[in-house]
C-alpha cells in the first residue's frame, strides 16, 4: 500500500454514531402536521379480471380522506425499458399475482386506513393461473399477457465458438439440471415514504437505494418536469436490489393522495406485504452441459436457463443478460452457447437481488466442474488452476479483464490447513465433517443503458472544511465512508474535515444509484475528480505566494507545502482563507463526473463489458453434517477476495461477511413455500433466514491486484461472496456425504432422504 493518510486504513463508518444512538431518521420516522396514512387493498386471487370495485363503504368511514383505484392513474404504466412498461400503480382491469395492488385509501391514521382498505369490495372473475415456468412455456398454458407467446417475458441468447466441436473433443461430457430456489432480499426496513405535492411540485422522503429511478417515474406519471420532482433520501435500512431499486404502488398512491388532499401522505409496508408481494430473486432452473478433457481442460459449455419472472417484467432483462455474459468468467472458455428464458407466471415479480443472474449460472457451472473432476480423478484445486484466467484476458464475448487475483485466491485456499487436512478428518459418531471450495467472479462498476454517469461537487468552506455532494446512495454498505476517504486523501485532510450530504435530487448531482457494485468505482471516480479540481484551484494561490509551479504544491496531513522545499508550508485552513478572501473573494467549487466509457456493449448478443472491472472470489467452507438427521452447520469459511485494493479493510471484511450470510441463507435455509401463487410463509418466523447463532467463523483474505481503472486500484467488494458461498457449501456437503445435490436450498430433509436412498442402493 502506498503512503496514504486515510486510504487503506481501518476507519470506522462515518454514520456509525448516528445510527447506534438512534439519531438516524429512516423514511418511516418522518412525521408532519396533518399527515395522512396510505394503505393498499390487494387482490386475493393470483389471476383474475376486475369486474367492479365498490369503494363506498370505505369512503363513508370516519377519518377517510380519499380512495384510489386503477382508473385514477389513467392507464399510465412503468417498466425498465420502453417495451416492458406494463406495470400499473394499481391494477385497473386484471390482476396477475396474488396480492397485487387494486385500490388504496388515505386516512387520518394508520388503523383507520387499514380498516377502510378492508371495506373495499372488488368483484373478480377468476382466471386460470400458471405457477411453474416450465408449465407456463407449454402450448395451451394460461396466458399472462396476450402478446407474450408461450409466456416468454424476455429471452436472451449467446453463441460463441463451436460448442458441438468442443463437446466432440471432450473426453467427458456432463448434462445436469440445477435449481436455485425462491428467496428475497431480507432487509429489516420495509419500503416506506412520506410524500408531499404542493405548488413547488413533488417532494418525497423515500426508502430508495436508487432515488433517481423513482424521481423519473414520478415525473412521468404526474406529467411534471424533473425539476419539479424532489426525492430526499433518508437513511436506508438495507436494500440489496429488488424492491428498493424500483418504484411501488405506495409511492404513486401517496403522491396522488397528497395532490388530492394538499396533505403529506405516508405509507409503510408491513413485513407480510414485503414477503408476499415485493420483488424477489428469480427462481431459476439451469440445464448445464460441459465438456472436459482428461487433464481437466474445459472444452465447451452450453446452458439453458428458465427463470420464473412472475407477473411483470420489471428489471428482469438485465438479470437474464447477466446469466450469460458473466458465464465466460472466471475460467477460460473457448466455446459457449447460452439460451435464457424469463417466463411470466402468476407468482410475485422476479427482479434484481444482490449478485443477480451470476449467482444462478455460476452455481451450476461450479458444481458441474467439480462433479466432472471427481469422475476424472482430478483434484478440485488442480481443475480450477488448469482453467483459471490470468490478466490481461479477453473472453470469447469480449469481456476484458485487466486485473485478476483468481490464481492467488485458489492457491490461498489450497494452502490453508483446513484444505490440506481435509482427507484426515475422522467421522465422530453420526457427525461427518466436509470441506468444499469454489472460485467465482463478479462485475463491478456496472454500466448498462441510460443515464449511468456519476457526479460529485466538492465545496471548500472558508475555514478549510469541505462539503461533499453526491447523488450516490449508501444503503448500508458503507460507501459514504469510502467516498469521504477519497476526498480527504486527495485534499490531504482528515475524515472529520469532510462532510457528506444526504442525497436530495434538488441539490445533489444525478446518479444512477446503488446497484451492480458501482458506487465505489464510478462515484469514487467522480469524487476524485472533484477533489482534484479543488486542489488545482488552491494550488494556484499557494504557487503565487511561494513563487512555485502549481504542480509542485503538495497537500498532506492538513498541510500545504512545496515539493522539495518543506520549509515553505502552511496549514490547509490558512490557504483556504487566502483563496476565499483574495481580492473580492474566490468561490472554490470542484466538479467531477465518471466518464469510464463503454467501448462495445451489445446487450442483445452479450458482447462487451457490462462493468468497469471484475472481482474474483475463492472460498473454502467447512460443514458438520449429521448423517442420521440430515441437519448440518457451516463451521468455518475462508474467503480470498480480489477487490483490487481494499480502500477500507473493515468495510471489505464486513461486506464479504454480509454477502456470505445472504449466500448461506440462500443455500441452506431460505425458500418461499408456494401454493397456486400464495406465499405460505409470509413472516420472518416461517421464512427461515440465518440467525446470529448460525454464523460460522469467517476469515477474509484480501488478494491485492490494483486495478488500473478503479480509484486507487479498487474493484467491487460487496457481491462476490454471495456468488461463491452456495457452491462451496454444496461441495462441502458432498465431501461429507458422498452425494451431489443440485437444488437450493439444501435442507435436512433432502440430505436424509438422499442418504437413505444411497444406503438402500448399497
Q: Is residue 73 part of a domain?
A: yes
Do 226 and 114 belong to one domain? yes
Q: What is the pLDDT of residue 517?
A: 87
Same domain? For 417 and 294 the reply is yes
Identify whether residues 375 and 520 lie together within a single domain: no
Whether 138 maps to a domain, the answer reads no
pLDDT of 165 over the 90 cut: yes
- Residue 715: what are its φ and ψ, rounded to 5°? -130, -170
What is the average per-residue pLDDT within 7-35?
96
CATH, residue 65? 3.90.1170.50
Candidate from 66-75, 107-116, 514-523 with smallest mean pLDDT: 514-523
Instruction: Find the mean pLDDT for residues 328-350.
Output: 98
467 and 405 share one domain = no
Question: Per-residue confidence at 43, pLDDT binned at 50, 70, 90?
Answer: very high
Name which of 161-175, 338-352, 418-432 the model is least confident about: 418-432
Read off the pLDDT of each residue in 572-592 and give the average, rounded to a whole number.
92
Percent of the chain residues past pLDDT 70, beyond the cut? 99
Q: Confidence class of residue 598 from pLDDT cuts 50, 70 and 90?
A: low
C-alpha cell at 639: 474467503
Can you read off the three cell numbers belonging to residue 348?
A: 410475485
Instruction: For residue 551, give the CATH number of its domain.
Output: 3.30.365.10
| Degrees, nearest 5: CA angle 553-556-559 | 80
Asked if residues 234 and 31 have their Cβ atoms less than 8 Å apart, the reply is no
pLDDT, average across residues 330-347? 98
Q: Is the peptide bond before 392 cis (omega within 30 degrees of 0)?
A: yes
Query: Does the pLDDT value for residue 455 go beyond 80?
Result: yes
Nearest alpha carbon to residue 254 among 28, 536, 504, 15: 28
Q: Containing H/E element for 431? A: strand 431-444
Query: Is residue 49 a part of any domain in this protein?
Result: yes
Residue 19 lies in a domain: no
- Bridge partners of 478, per DSSP, are none
Q: Using one digit for the tens of pLDDT, what is the confidence trace for 730-748?
A: 999 999 999 999 999 999 9
Q: Is residue 433 part of a domain?
A: yes
Does residue 512 sit in the same domain as residue 391? Answer: no
Q: Which residues are within 8 A (CB) of 687 and not within 5 positions of it... i.e. 6 or more apart? A: 184, 275, 670, 672, 681
Which of 227, 254, 272 is where one domain is finished? 272
Tell me the C-alpha distance between 637 and 419, whole Å.
11
Query: What is the rounded average pLDDT for all residues in the chain?
Result: 95
pTM of the prediction?
Answer: 0.96
**753 vs 447, higher pLDDT:** 753
The listed range with the strongest mean pLDDT (233-247, 500-514, 546-560) is 546-560
Distance, first Cα to last Cα, the chain: 56
Asked if 507 contacts 447 with a C-beta cutoff of 8 angstroms, the reply is no
b/e 168-197 (16+ beta carbons within 10 angstroms → b): eebebbeebebbbbbbbbbbebbbbbbbbb
- Residue that finishes a domain, picked among 567, 593, 619: 593
Coil/strand/helix, residue 349: coil
Given a cut of 70, is residue 449 above it in pLDDT?
no
Task: Please check whether residues 624 and 530 belong to one and the same domain.
Answer: no
| Chain Cα centroid distance, residue 328 | 21
CB 71 within 8 A of CB 308: no
505-538 tens-digit pLDDT: 999 998 888 888 889 999 999 999 999 999 999 9
Average pLDDT over residues 383-387: 98
Average pLDDT over residues 241-255: 94
Query: Can you tell me the distance from the alpha carbon of 119 to that of 56, in angstroms, rounded to the nearest whole number?
Result: 9
State mean pLDDT over 394-412. Answer: 97
- How far apart are the C-alpha atoms of 24 and 222, rounded to whole Å? 31
Tell me: do 37 and 80 sit in the same domain.
yes
> Do residue 579 and residue 710 come from a single domain?
no
SS3 537: helix
Give me the pLDDT at residue 351, please.
Answer: 95
Show the domain range for 490.
Answer: 449-593
pLDDT band of 62, cuts 50, 70, 90: very high
Confidence of residue 587 (pLDDT cuts 50, 70, 90): very high
Which of the listed residues 593, 619, 636 is the one where a domain comes to its end? 593
Pick from 617, 613, 614, 635: nearest CA to 701? 617
State pLDDT tens for residues 278-309. Answer: 999 999 999 999 999 999 999 999 999 999 99
The answer to whether residue 719 is domain-embedded is: yes
Same domain membership, residue 368 and residue 391: yes
Whether pLDDT at 599 is above 70: no
Are residues 326 and 253 located together in one domain of the fold? no
SS3 sequence of 680-737? CCCCCCCCCCCCHHHCCEEEEEEEECCCCCCHHHCCCCCCHHHHHHHHHHHHHHHHHH
CB of 56 closer than 8 Å to CB of 129: no
Residue 437 domain-assigned?
A: yes
pLDDT at 600 (0 to 100): 65
**Cell numbers for 100:** 397485487
Does the pLDDT of residue 1 top 90, yes or no? no
11 assigned to some structural domain? no
- Same domain, residue pair 421 and 301: yes
Residue for grid cell 435500512: 237
* 391 and 533 share one domain: no
Total domains in the chain come to: 3
Q: What is the 3 state secondary structure string of 611-629?
A: CCEEEEEEEEEEEEEECCC
Amino acid at each position: 500500500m502506498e503512503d496514504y493518510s486515510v486510504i487503506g486504513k481501518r476507519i470506522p463508518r462515518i454514520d456509525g454514531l448516528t445510527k447506534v444512538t438512534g439519531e438516524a431518521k429512516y423514511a418511516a420516522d418522518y412525521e408532519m402536521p396533518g399527515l395522512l396514512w396510505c394503505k393498499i387493498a390487494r387482490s386475493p386471487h393470483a389471476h383474475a379480471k376486475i369486474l367492479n370495485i365498490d369503494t363506498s363503504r370505505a369512503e363513508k368511514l370516519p377519518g377517510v380522506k380519499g380512495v384510489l383505484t386503477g382508473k385514477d392513474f389513467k392507464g399510465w404504466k412503468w417498466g425498465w425499458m420502453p417495451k416492458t412498461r406494463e406495470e400499473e400503480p394499481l391494477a385497473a382491469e386484471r390482476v396477475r399475482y396474488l396480492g397485487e395492488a387494486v385500490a388504496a385509501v388515505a386516512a387520518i391514521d394508520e388503523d383507520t386506513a387499514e380498516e377502510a382498505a378492508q371495506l373495499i369490495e372488488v368483484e373478480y372473475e377468476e382466471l386460470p393461473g400458471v405457477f411453474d415456468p416450465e408449465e407456463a412455456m407449454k402450448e395451451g398454458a394460461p396466458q399472462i399477457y396476450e402478446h407474450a407467446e408461450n409466456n416468454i417475458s424476455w429471452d436472451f441468447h449467446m453463441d460463441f465458438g463451436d460448442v458441438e466441436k468442443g463437446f466432440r473433443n471432450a473426453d467427458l461430457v456432463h448434462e445436469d439440471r440445477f435449481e436455485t430456489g425462491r428467496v428475497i432480499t431480507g432487509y429489516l426496513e420495509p419500503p416506506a415514504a412520506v410524500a408531499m405535492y404542493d405548488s413547488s411540485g413533488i417532494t418525497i422522503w423515500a426508502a430508495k437505494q436508487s432515488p433517481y429511478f423513482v424521481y423519473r417515474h414520478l415525473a412521468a406519471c404526474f406529467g411534471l418536469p424533473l425539476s419539479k420532482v424532489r426525492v430526499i433520501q433518508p437513511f436506508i435500512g438495507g436494500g440489496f436490489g429488488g424492491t428498493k431499486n424500483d418504484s411501488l404502488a405506495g409511492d404513486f398512491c401517496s403522491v396522488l393522495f397528497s395532490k388530492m388532499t394538499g396533505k403529506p401522505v405516508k405509507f409503510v409496508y408491513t413485513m407480510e406485504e414485503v414477503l408476499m408481494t415485493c420483488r424477489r430473486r428469480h427462481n431459476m432452473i439451469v440445464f448445464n452441459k460441459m465438456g472436459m478433457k482428461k487433464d481437466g481442460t474445459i472444452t465447451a459449455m452450453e446452458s439453458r436457463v428458465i427463470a420464473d419472472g412472475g407477473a411483470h417484467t420489471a428489471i428482469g432483462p438485465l438479470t437474464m443478460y447477466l446469466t450469460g455474459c458473466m458465464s465466460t468468467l472466471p475460467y477460460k472458455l473457448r466455446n459457449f452457447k447460452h439460451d435464457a428464458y424469463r417466463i411470466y407466471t402468476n407468482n410475485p415479480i422476479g427482479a434484481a437481488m444482490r449478485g443477480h443472474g451470476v449467482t444462478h449460472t455460476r452455481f451450476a457451472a461450479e458444481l458441474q466442474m467439480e462433479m466432472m473432476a471427481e469422475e476424472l480423478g482430478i483434484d478440485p484445486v488442480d481443475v480450477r488452476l488448469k482453467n483459471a484466467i490470468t490478466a490481461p484476458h479477453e473472453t470469447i464475448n469480449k469481456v476484458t479483464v485487466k486485473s485478476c487475483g483468481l490464481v492467488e485466491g485458489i492457491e490461498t485456499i489450497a494452502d490453508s490447513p483446513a484444505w490440506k487436512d481435509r482427507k484426515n478428518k475422522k467421522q465422530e459418531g453420526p457427525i461427518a465433517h466436509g470441506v468444499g471450495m469454489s472460485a467465482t467472479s463478479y462485475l463491478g462498476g456496472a454500466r448498462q443503458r441510460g443515464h449511468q454517469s456519476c457526479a460529485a461537487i466538492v465545496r471548500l468552506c472558508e475555514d478549510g472544511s469541505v462539503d461533499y455532494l453526491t447523488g450516490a446512495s449508501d444503503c448500508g454498505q458503507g460507501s459514504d465512508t469510502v467516498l469521504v476517504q477519497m476526498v480527504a486523501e486527495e485534499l490531504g485532510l482528515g475524515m472529520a474535515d469532510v462532510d457528506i450530504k444526504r442525497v436530495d435530487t434538488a441539490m445533489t448531482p444525478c446518479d444512477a444509484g446503488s446497484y451492480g457494485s458501482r458506487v465505489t468505482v464510478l462515484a469514487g471516480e467522480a469524487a476524485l475528480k472533484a477533489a482534484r479540481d479543488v486542489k488545482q484551484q488552491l494550488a494556484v494561490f499557494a504557487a503565487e505566494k511561494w513563487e512555485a509551479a502549481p504542480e509542485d504544491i503538495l497537500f498532506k496531513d492538513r498541510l500545504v507545502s512545496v515539493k522539495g522545499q518543506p520549509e515553505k508550508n502552511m496549514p490547509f485552513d490558512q490557504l483556504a482563507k487566502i483563496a476565499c478572501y483574495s481580492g473580492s473573494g474566490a468561490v472554490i467549487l470542484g466538479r467531477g463526473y465518471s466518464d469510464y466509457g463503454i467501448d462495445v456493449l451489445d446487450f442483445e448478443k452479450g458482447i462487451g463489458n457490462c462493468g468497469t472491472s471484475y472481482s474474483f472470489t475463492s472460498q473454502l467452507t467447512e460443514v458438520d453434517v449429521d448423517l442420521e438427521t440430515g441437519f448440518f452447520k457451516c463451521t468455518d469459511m475462508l474467503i480470498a477476495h480480489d477487490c483490487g485494493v481494499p480502500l477500507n479493510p473493515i468495510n471489505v471484511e464486513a461486506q464479504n461477511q454480509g454477502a456470505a450470510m445472504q449466500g448461506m441463507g440462500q443455500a441452506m435455509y431460505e425458500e418461499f413455500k408456494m401454493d397456486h401463487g400464495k406465499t405460505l410463509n409470509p413472516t420472518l418466523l416461517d421464512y427461515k433466514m440465518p440467525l446470529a447463532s448460525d454464523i460460522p467463523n469467517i476469515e477474509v483474505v484480501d488478494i491485492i491486484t490494483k486495478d488500473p481503472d478503479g480509484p486507487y486500484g479498487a474493484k467491487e467488494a460487496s457481491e462476490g461472496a454471495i456468488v461463491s458461498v452456495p457452491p462451496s457449501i454444496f461441495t462441502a456437503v458432498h465431501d461429507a456425504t458422498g452425494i451431489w445435490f443440485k437444488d437450493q436450498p439444501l435442507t435436512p430433509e433432502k440430505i436424509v432422504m438422499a442418504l437413505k436412498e444411497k444406503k438402500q442402493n448399497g
